Each structure stands twice: as C-alpha cells, then as structure tokens.
Chains A and B, each alone.
Chain A
C-alpha cells in the first residue's frame, strides 16, 4: 500500500502531496523535507529506490519534476515506477503535453485525476481509457470558455 505520493520540482518546491495514511501536519512537513532533500541529493544513474525508515521510497524524474512514493516493504517496486508513469500519462492526456505549470495552476485537477487512479493507497483503475473518460465526463458537466472568461477576476 502506498503511504504517500509527492510531486516536487528540481528546486525542492512541493507541487502536489497526497497522503493515504492519517498523520499530523508536522509529521507531513518533516517527511516532505526529508524526501525532497534525499531524493534531490541522489546521483544520476542510480536506481529508483531508497530505503527510508521502514518504507521503500520509489521515485522518478520527469524533466524538472520529481515524483516520489512511499511504499510498504512488500510492495512491488517496478510496478510502483509504472504507477508513477501511468499517472504522468494520465496528466499528459488531460492537459496535452503536461508541464509543471499545468499542475501548479490546476492543482485541483491533478488531485481529481489522481483520485480516479488511486484510492486508499491502492490502484483503483489501471485502464487509461476508463480514467480519461471519467475525467472528461466530469469536465462536460462544467462551463464553457465563454462562461469562464466572463467570471470575475478577483
């Protein structure tokens, strides 16, 4: 079971955090700090895994963005890399060539997409089509561009 997923930039700025376990805010901040530090300190061409306390950290870099997951000992490491990849693919399908800015400005969407894919720290739906369809459908329930532009800017 996944305990957390963090997205952060090369500069160590946190872009998204998802927790599948109940822990306090202080503890969260501590983990975030430790994760960004130790993942960013890793040399190139090393493996994608690290031991950290009793968790296994699996991380992967996409351009300027790092995605890092805290997994339990018996979880499958290679497949966790592919969970990360599938999530990036889903973001990519939705935003079209996703970049860090998309996640910053649409963080709520990034959460919704993640929620369609993972739940309670387990994979819920692995089919890209199904997840994308869910997200598209929920977008259909929303406004058009004209509506968007006519909204107050403050």
Chain B
C-alpha cells in the first residue's frame, strides 16, 4: 500500500504510481504506462460521460506520466473542461495540467483564456488566485493580450483581498517580462508604488518585485518609490525581531522584503534629498553594525538570512559608490568573511570584493587582502571558490602588484582545474601586457603560459605576443633568443612552434651571430618539429623557411632541398603543396633584391585593442569581467584586434609587386587565400594582415576579403536592447521585397536570414531560414514575431516551426527553418517585426528585422478589357479614392523591368488598355478576411524628364495610399 495521501487523495493515482515504482525494468515501466494510456484513452472516448472526479484522476495520471518524461498527446481538452468545474480540487488539477503541459502556442489558449476569464470575474479569491497563477505559469502573448488590461485593475482595487493582490502583482511582473510592450503604463502605476506602504508585508514583498522590474525600464515613472522604499527599509531594520511576527525568519526581520527593497534601490543613484539619503545611510550602517553583533541563533538559517541582507546592502553601497566610509567598512566586513569557516561566505566575499576593487575609494583597501586571496587559490578545496579567487586577483591587479599576481596565477595554472584554465590563460595574458614595464617580462610570461598550458592558449594570445614583438624593437632580440631556447625542449607545445617559427623567421638574424644559434642550427631546430605539427603550423613553418632564404642566403640550398622533397612538393594537403611549390620557385627565380623586397621584415601592426580582452568578455559574458580604468574605455573603441601574424606576408607582399606576382604566383594566389581560410580559424585572419599593410592587395583578392569579418564577430554586433533602435534599415528591407517573394532578408557576420514566401488570397505562408554563419553554436536561440498594437487587429500571424520547436542550439554552419502563417484580416500599413535572440559566445545577441509582409501581397490579379477598365476607373471618381504621386526615377527606365515589377506587385498587367502605349495599366483585388478592395493603377513614365506619374484608384482611401507608397518606391 502506498503512503496514503492527505486530503484529497486519488486512490487510483496512488495505485498507479506504486505500480510504476514496482516495475523492475524500463521496459516493464513503459508497458505499464502504455496500458494506462490505453485505459485513459478509452475512458475519454467512451460513451459514458465521465464524472468530475474521474476526469481529474485521469488528467492527473497523464500529468504524472508526462513528468516521468513521456510524451502526452491527448487529454488537454479534458483538462480544459476541468477549469469550468465548480469543485475547487478539479479546477486546481485542471490548472496544474495546463501550467505544466500547455505551451504558449497551443490552440487551446482561447478556451483556457475563457476559463481564466470566468474565474477572474468570479470574485472568489481562491479561484482568482488559481487563474492568476495559470497566467503567470503559461505567460504566453495571447494571455498577455487578453488580460493585461484587467490585472492592474485587480491589483489596485480597494476591495481586492491581500492574497489576490500578491498574485496579481507577480502575474503582472511575469507578463511584463515576457511581453513588455503589452503591459500598459498608466494611472495604476502611481498606485502600485503606494503598495510599498501596505500593511500586509506579503503584499509589499510581491509589489516590490514588480516595482523593481518596472523601475528598471522606466526609472522616471517610479522615482517616488525611492523614498518609500527607504522608509520601509528603515522600519524593518530598526524593528525588534518579534515585531514582524511570522515575517521574521529565524530572528531576522523580513529578510526577503529587505533584500528586495535594497535591490529596488539599486535601480537608482543615491537619493538626492538629504533627509532620505541620511536615513538610508543610517539603515546601511545599522545593517553593517548588526553583522558584528553576536548571533541570535546558532542555526545556519539565521546567519544565512542575516548575511543575505548584509551582502545586498554591500551591493547597494558599491552601486552608489559615493560614501568612502561605507565602502571601506564594507571592504573590511568582506575581509572578515574571506577567512570565515563557511565556504559559502568565502565564495560570496570573493565575488563581492571583485566589484569593490573597481571603486577608486576601496581599491586600495581591497588590495590589502592579497595574501588571503592568494592563499585561497592554493588551499580552497572547491573549484567554484578558487575561480572567484582568480577573478578577484584579476580585479585587484595594478602596476604595484602585477608581477606578484601574474606569478601566482602562473603557479596555480599548473594544477588548475581544466574547466577554468583557458580563462586563467586569458587573464594572465591581459595582465602581463597591461602592466608590463619591461617587455622581456611580458615575453617570458607568455612563453611560460604556452609551456604550462599550451592547449589552453587560444590564438588570440599568441597572435598578440607576436604583434607586440613586431612593434617593439627593444624586445626583438631577446624574444628570438628566448624562443630559440624554449624550442630546445624535446617536447614543446605546438603553439610554441608557431610563435618560435614566426619570430625566428622575422628576427632569427638577431641571434645568428652566436655560433650556438647559427642559421643552420635554427633551421634544423625548427625543422625537427615540423613533422609533429598540424597542417596550419607546417604552413607557417614553410613561410618561415622562405623568410630564412632571404635572411640567411648561406642555407638557401638546404632549404631548397627540403622544399623540393616529395613530402613537400607532393604533399596531399593542397595548401602545403602550393606553398612548397611557390616558395621553391620564388627562391630559384627571384634575384636577391626581389627576395629582399618580397620577404622584408613585417611592418609594425597598427596599435589596436587586445583581442584577448574581447575574448575574455565573451567567455564570461558581459558584466562579469570587472572593469578596470582602461577596460572601460575600450567599449567605445573598435574591439577588433585579431591579427594573424603568420608570415604569409611574403605572398601578400609578392602580390603587391607586380613584376613577380603576375609571373610567378598570379596563377595560384587567390585560391591559396581561399583554401587557407577554412583550414583553421587562423587562416581566415590572413586577410587582416593584408589589409593593414598593403591595401592594394585587397582588390586583387576580393574573395579573401569576405573572410575578413570573422574575427570581428561578437563585439561589433551586439545590438542594443532597445528593439526600436535595432530594427535593421527597416523600410529599405521591406521595399526590397515588395515585388518579390524570395531572397535574403538580412545578413550580418553572424547569421543570414533567408525568406521564401507564398500568398494566396488573404492567406500567406512565409518560410524563414536562419543560417548560422559562424563555426560556433548559437545558444538559447529563439524568435518571436511582434505586431504593433495597431497592426494586430489587421493581420494574424501564427509562427510555428517545421520541427515542433526551433532547437535552442543552432550549430555552426547549420540552418534552421521556421514557417510563418499569415492571415490578412483587413488592410494595414505597418510591417510586423521579427525578433531574434540568441547567445553567441556568451554575449546576448538581439536583432529585429521588419518582415516584408506588405498589403500588396494579398493581391489577386484581375484581367479586364479596356472598356471595363475605364468604366470602373470612372466609378471610382471620388477624390479620396484616387491617390497620385509624381516622382523621379531611381533606376534606369527600362520597359521590361517595369513590367516585371508591376506583375511582381501582384496586379494583372493590362495590355492595350491605355491609349498611350508607353503607359502601364494594371488591375487587381486585395483580399482580406473582412473585405475585398478592387484596385486600378496607371503608371505614366516620362523618359525625358526621368519622372513617373503613378495614379491609383481603389474603393478605400487607406488602401490607395498604402499601395501608392509601396509601388512608388520601386522605380
């Protein structure tokens, strides 16, 4: 016998659950479930009407089966029926099923909305709460549309029960998050603010959550809340632990409300009004003081709740960043926690200190804890905590302690968890560059990084060291010597071979005087690594060899032998083969002078931002990398910094010296560039080098130019959150599609959106293809179509996908498809907006594109005779029915093109109607669900003046105008 449930148990359900638990195998479980599903299906289909109890029981069983992870494809209707039951328990199960199982685009939403509507109007608080919960749980747009007008009224009405107010506030909050455009601001907003004064603390808690979210979007409108929140907070903080009765949690007065109020205050700068500000400072001081008092209970719940408030207060202090006294006290408090025996507190103290480190008032105070933090790195058993320690060291680093911190991080790297190694590598690389007084230290640090954690050194890191070495002559000799020494190690990382190959190729001559590193020794050393390396590295080494031919003529013959060997000239890899062939020819044919020009030392790279920072930001997501002074500036500047320093400048430069390039390399060069590009991420960066150094090349290799953009992705394209600002060249795009149905709607470095659409009468279907152009997966990919308020009544859109849902992860290079069904209800002006959101490398990408759904898409062409045409033309003679526009031709006035456009516009092109053969006439009917609008048009070109006159007559003024606007943009 199963554990007997309390209250309203369902015996059949309990028996079923217990059966499932007794199943010995997965197969047995599936068998039992299928039996049950068959049983339920037959009950639902049976002739006998089920009573409410049975219906409830079966719906609940279905829910259980679903929660076990099986698909449920029936029973929704029965669940919806339960909503209209008068029995609370039946209604409750119905709502539960819907909350868990119904997704937002279900066809049942209308029926569900009906049930909800009845319950909201019932004035029975328990029913109202169920309904509000359901809205909050499903949170779909259709529900938002149906109820956003009612919920604010419920929330602020004087006679609403407290519990309903709480539900209403949070329900509204949820709708505001999912469909912010639908939640109307208005008179109720000021009344909501006053809920902060409500007597019922539960109501205040719920209202504070709502106000915080609203205030983040409209700070001005909710400014009033600051003083109210401060006074509420002050009353809580100063209350005795028993004052608030059940809202006191383990001797801490209303911790949830306190934290929410402190959170709300973080939406605003410090209060301007002196009294409010003073009171808030008092509150914060009281909270800091309480931390020093002995605990009122030994229970962990007490200390957690108390410290939760304390940490939130510290967040507010850091947010205001204006009271040096409070900041230093906060820092000291956190310093205490750094050595607390509770792991949680150590973790949070490290995290909180990270933000504190960026304040000028507390940066020095944070620095005093360096030893403790370094110790945490060495001794903490928990990787989460160690990661926070790394973050904090990074944040507290400045010129005074950089050497120490970098050394400690390098130390830690040897034993660090694999999951955080790459991040540490990036951080070390950034700090070493930023605080390098002496660039030999920088070079040593990066080589150490490669030695210790070569696999985690991303391209950005080693590109950067090469950029710096090229740009600073004082460090070139030292670098050549150091890499030469590092390469002596019997097993060295491939990244070291890359750096070594590049640097020796450029500056090997600086150490060639020493007999221990003579040209031949350098070459042999590099070549001993050659066969162990991957293709991109070998390609780089081949470039190094040809550079050696120039630097060290004495070993030219040796190098030519190597290039000439079968393993090079007949290498299966086309890139390697091509390089070998071309370099060999170059070394044989070109004179010393030409070689010297072609293989000249790389010119300095233009000063740019480090791409490593961009990478780190992407990795951690915006806002997670603590800003130091310099990093702040970067946001505005061009974030592109990736430069592939592979010494293919040899071939690039070749191209810009025509005498050799045409003869020797002209044949194969463009393909080389192309073939390199996909070979590795590094390959695509080749062009970066060209564009900076020899702009002339760009035009020679236009195909390669396209690859250019890849490294810039991510930083450049983060579109602002404001959807209005982000709509891409809205009207131009729409205009492009007025006369055609297929094509590329939108493209940037990350993705391409293609369209195929078909329209028949008042219905349309649009296939939207999203192509991921990068090699990285998009995460949390989601799309939504938004119609402006005015548009909604005119056009219905149903977006659904060819698979049930768009997979939230879109693989690199992959394409997903969605179908949009469109129904035109009546004539309309605006176009709907397609909103796309996804994560690319940690950064949230948000873009909006207008969908080219224009009124003319709903044209059906109508053929008619000249007589009919003019008869109807005369019938539509009321001035409002005609719209005329005279405009200048934007495109060449080609008769055939014009004809194609008019047909593409959707009307029938009528020949022999207009007495003037150079004029065009057309006729068609716009189909909408409500009405049909006949349309006649006439286009009169004037080739001499390069002008057109367009006249449209329809029975509706708005239609005439809209069509005229659309068509006149096409010529």
Q: State the A residues within 8 Å of B (CB).
A: 1, 14, 17, 20, 22-27, 29, 43, 45-51, 53-54, 73-74, 76-79, 81-82, 85-86, 94-95, 101-102, 104-109, 111-112, 115, 119-130, 134, 137-139, 141-143, 148-149, 151-154
B653: interface (CB < 8 Å):
no
Q: What residues on A are CB-neighbors of B621 within 8 Å?
A: 54
Q: Beyond A86-B249, A125-B206, A148-B8: 17 further Cβ-contacts under 8 Å? A: A24-B808, A43-B382, A47-B343, A76-B263, A78-B344, A94-B6, A108-B60, A109-B7, A119-B166, A120-B136, A120-B171, A120-B177, A127-B246, A141-B87, A149-B11, A153-B11, A153-B12
A-B contacts, 29 listed (Cβ < 8 Å): A22-B139, A24-B804, A24-B805, A47-B382, A49-B348, A74-B263, A77-B348, A78-B305, A78-B307, A78-B344, A79-B255, A79-B305, A79-B308, A81-B304, A86-B249, A101-B3, A104-B17, A107-B64, A108-B60, A112-B96, A119-B171, A120-B136, A120-B171, A123-B256, A124-B202, A137-B126, A148-B4, A153-B11, A154-B15
Contact A142 B89 (CB under 8 A): yes
Q: With CB as the reference atom, state the residue of chain B lying closest to A130.
A: B202
Question: Across the interface, which residues of A come within 8 angstroms of B255, CB to CB?
Answer: 79, 82
User: Could you say which residues of chain B place their CB within 8 Å of the CB of A49?
Assistant: 344, 347-348, 384
Specify the main secondary structure of chain B where it touches its partner. helix
Q: How many inter-chain residue pairs (CB < 8 Å) link A and B? A: 208
How many Å lie between the Cα of A17 and that of B425 in the bound state? 38
Give chain A residues whose Cβ lies under 8 Å from the Cβ of B808.
Answer: 23-24, 26-27
Q: Please tell me if B483 contacts chain A, counting CB pairs below 8 Å.
A: no
Residues of A within 8 A of B128 (CB): none
Q: How far is the CA of A25 from the CA of B249 in the complex (A)?
A: 36
B837 at the binding interface (Cβ < 8 Å): no
B652 an interface residue at 8 Å Cβ cutoff?
no
B417 to chain A, nearest CB (A): 12
Chain A nearest CB, measured from B164 CB (Å): 11
Contact indicator A151/B11 (Cβ below 8 Å): yes
- Which residues of B are interface residues toward A (Cβ below 8 A)? 2-12, 14-15, 17-18, 21, 39, 53, 60, 63-64, 67, 69, 87-89, 92-93, 96, 100, 103-104, 126, 132-133, 136, 139-140, 163, 166-167, 170-171, 173-174, 177-178, 201-202, 205-206, 209, 245-247, 249, 254-257, 259, 263, 301, 304-305, 307-308, 311-312, 343-344, 346-348, 381-385, 387, 621, 623-624, 779, 804-805, 807-808, 839, 842
Residues on the A chain within 8 Å of B839, using CB:
53-54
Residues of A within 8 A of B206 (CB): 119, 122-125
**CA A109 to CA B384, docked complex, whole Å:** 35
- A94 vs chain B, min Cβ distance (A): 7
Q: How far is the CA of A138 from the CA of B130 in the complex (A)?
A: 11
Assembled-state Cα–Cα distance A134/B92 (Å): 13
Given contacts A74-B263, A123-B205, A125-B202, contact A153 B385 (CB under 8 A): no
What chain B residues lie within 8 Å of A107 (beta carbons)?
64, 67
Q: A residues within 8 A CB of B140?
A: 22
A94 to B177 alpha-carbon distance, docked (Å):
32
- Residue in A50, A120, A137, A149 whose CB lies within 8 Å of B170: A120
A22-B103, A112-B92 known; A126+B5 contact, CB < 8 A? no
Neighbouring B residues of A29 by C-beta, 8 Å: 69
Q: How far is the CA of A154 from the CA of B11 in the complex (A)?
A: 8
When chains A and B are docked, how far (Å) is the Cα of A11 from the Cα of B10?
27
- Contacts A26-B807, A73-B623, A120-B173: A78 and B103 contacting too (C-beta < 8 A)? no
Asked if A127 meets B311 with Cβ closer than 8 Å, knowing A122-B170, A139-B6, A141-B89, the reply is: no
Shortest CB-to-CB span from B836 to chain A, Å, is: 16
Cα–Cα distance between A93 and B702 once the two chains are bound (Å): 72
Once bound together, how far apart are the Cα atoms of A150 and B441, in whole Å? 84
> Which residues of A have CB within 8 Å of B53?
151
Instruction: Provide the bound-state CA to CA distance between A124 and B343, in Å.
Output: 29
In the bound complex, do residue A82 and residue B254 qualify as a contact, i.e. CB atoms below 8 Å apart? no
Q: Give B210's nearest chain A residue, CB to CB.
A: A122
B7 touches A126 (CB 8 A): no
In the assembled complex, which residues on chain B have CB atoms less than 8 Å from the CB atom of A53? 779, 839
Contact of A47 among B93, B257, B307, B385 (CB under 8 A): B385
**Cα of A124 to Cα of B301 in the assembled complex, Å:** 19
Docked complex Cα distance between A106 and B807 (Å): 33
Bound together, the chains give a CA A90 to CA B87 distance in angstroms of 25
Q: Are B6 and A106 in contact (CB under 8 A)?
A: yes
Asked whether A127 lies within 8 Å of B202 as measured between CB atoms, the reply is yes
Interface centre among A14, A23, A50, A127 (most CB of B within 10 A): A127
Residue pair B170, A79 in contact (C-beta under 8 Å): no
Which residues of chain B have C-beta atoms less than 8 A from A45's C-beta?
343, 381-382
Q: Point out the residues of chain A lying under 8 angstroms from B348, CB to CB.
A: 49, 77-78
Contact B311 A47 (CB under 8 A): no
List, in ascending order, chain A residues with CB within 8 A of B202's CB.
Answer: 124-127, 130
Partner of B384, one of A14, A46, A101, A105: A46
